[in-house]
Amino acid sequence: MNICIITLGCPKNEVDSELVAASLQRGGHRLVDSPEAADAVVVNTCGFIQPAVEESIGVILEMAQLKETGALKKLIVSGCLVQRYHSQLAEEIPEIDALLGTADHLETLDMLNSDETHQVLVTPKPRAILESDPDLVAARIPRMGHTAYVRLSEGCNRRCAYCIIPQLRGTLRSRPVADIVKEVKGLVTAGVKELILIGQETTAYGLDMKDGTDIVTLLDALMPVAGSAWLRLMYTHPAGINNRFVEFFAANAGDVLLPYIDVPIQHIDGRVLKAMNRGHGEKRIRQVVEQLRSGIPNLVLRTTVITGHPGEDTRGFRKLLSFVEEGWFDRLGAFPYYPEEGTVSATLRPRPKHATAIRRADAVMAAQTEVSRERLQNMMDKRISVLVEGPSEEHELLTAGRYYGQAPEIDGVVYLVDAPTQPVAGQVLSCTVTQTHDFDLEVEVVEDED
């Protein structure tokens, strides 16, 4: 059977889909890129915020229409949207043959092979994470080829007031160090050049093991097996940044463990942080960013913030904007708040109008653009290593890549100009910066490092 997997949402969903793809291939099915060429479609959904919900429903409805024409034999829907709204989906979209929750992706093969329809499998409290099958992990083929997401854990023990994730993915369950090391070895052997370490909160890794294992333990174990591949750490939490963490990065960050850290702060105003139930205030955030900046050479620091959360008044927003203008972060994403059903924040008042939240997010991004432009201008004429991505989406005659300070799909890119030979995706090339923009760089290739 020809199967098309459509993945929506975050990198955690990418990993789930890659595991499902490996399972389906092992079961004798063939993967295709187009729904029109498929006998069955699997839609791996996101249900984190309202726009993601709407996008997921829109895609499901498109696939339902395709099934009505007779082009599709089966439609399976999985992931966070199912975990959250499985009853409504089953009732309102009868074209769906099976619904699978966030812990039930690997049942996709059985659902495809079954003659039954309208099956619903949603584990109320998501169980052990999918990577417990080492053979399946070894068979996983990363969507981006030379870049792979490596999930360190599943679930989250925090209860941020705005977040639905613990309800969708359960409490923290960390993978054993040995399992992650084995996966990384396999990915490196397969030619992966960048390993992006992810989880709901990577700095909480190991806390559930209660044997002293932590994120530093894991990083220390991964560095020797990563070879020349990049290790990039995402989704750290200010509460998890301590002296041991900073000292390890200060001593080891470089060509393998990248001096790039993603620390979502969400806000800086104490009143808003309290309403968010973040567990700390402005003082702690300033301590963390100052410690990271002063302790780790050549650090590229990324964050995300939310505007328009309940409790954010004009003063609180101006405080956030001023903090962004201080220039602590090289990379930043700003998102307007969406009240999510089932969260504490959705019940809180007062709350800025959504149009206000959008305007404030735009203002934050405008301020960050100025910071980014100035930061990148300082890179003129510098030598950097660039991981080649392939043909640019912006211009067919240009090749795109990234340097260590750019995570895929969320940061800027590097454009390779006048390369002596056609660069190949996955190559790491030595380049000189020749032009800078708001978020992107232009470079000339100096020599091939591979």
179 and 202 housed in the same domain: yes
| CA within 13 Å, CB half, 404 | 24
**What's the CA gap between 59 and 54, in Å, rounded?**
9
**What's the CA gap between 238 and 363, in Å, rounded?**
24
Q: At what angle do helices 50-68 and 80-92 cross, to 10 degrees?
A: 50
The pLDDT of residue 105: 86
338 and 410 housed in the same domain: no
400 and 256 housed in the same domain: no
Residue 404: strand, helix, or coil: coil
427 and 297 housed in the same domain: no
410 and 350 housed in the same domain: no
How crowded is residue 392: how many other Cβ atoms within 10 Å of its Cβ?
A: 16
262 and 393 housed in the same domain: no
pLDDT tens digits in sequence order for the chain, 450 residues long:
999 999 999 888 999 899 899 899 989 999 999 999 999 999 999 998 899 999 999 999 999 999 999 889 999 999 999 999 999 999 999 999 999 998 888 899 999 988 887 788 887 766 555 555 666 666 676 766 799 999 999 999 999 999 998 888 889 999 999 999 999 998 999 899 999 999 999 999 999 999 999 999 999 999 999 999 999 999 999 999 999 999 999 999 999 999 999 999 999 999 999 999 999 999 999 999 999 999 999 999 999 999 999 999 999 999 999 999 999 999 999 999 999 999 999 999 999 999 999 999 999 999 999 999 999 999 999 999 999 998 888 777 789 999 999 999 999 999 998 776 788 889 999 999 999 999 999 999 986 544
The domain boundary residue, chosen from 377, 401, 431: 377
353 and 330 housed in the same domain: yes
**What's the CA gap between 119 and 189, in Å, rounded?**
39
295 and 152 housed in the same domain: yes
pTM as predicted: 0.92
Task: Output the domain CATH number for residue 37.
Answer: 3.40.50.12160
Task: Output the domain CATH number for residue 434.
Answer: 2.40.50.140
**What's the CA gap between 183 and 200, in Å, rounded?**
19
- Count how many domains the chain has: 3
The domain boundary residue, chosen from 97, 121, 145: 121
32 phi, psi to nearest 5 deg: -130, 155
The pLDDT of residue 126: 64
The pLDDT of residue 450: 47
251 and 352 housed in the same domain: yes
DSSP 342-361: TSSGGG-S----HHHHHHHH
DSSP 288-342: HHHHHHHHSTT-EEEEEEEES-TT--HHHHHHHHHHHHTT--SEEEEEE--PPTT
First to last CA, the chain: 39
- Report which secondary-structure segment, H or E, holds 260: strand 257-262
The domain boundary residue, chosen from 377, 395, 422: 377
**What residues does 332 pair with on adjacent strands?**
303
242 and 116 housed in the same domain: no
The owner of tokens 């009240």 is 339
269 and 373 housed in the same domain: yes
The residue range of the domain holding 440 is 383-448
414 and 275 housed in the same domain: no
Percentages of the chain per state (helix, strand, coil), in multiples of 5: 40, 20, 40
The owner of tokens 């996983």 is 140
Task: Output the domain CATH number for residue 225.
Answer: 3.80.30.20
Residue 94: strand, helix, or coil: coil
Which of 112, 147, 106, 111 has the alpha carbon at shortest distance from 130? 106
Radius of gyration of the chain from Cα atoms? 22
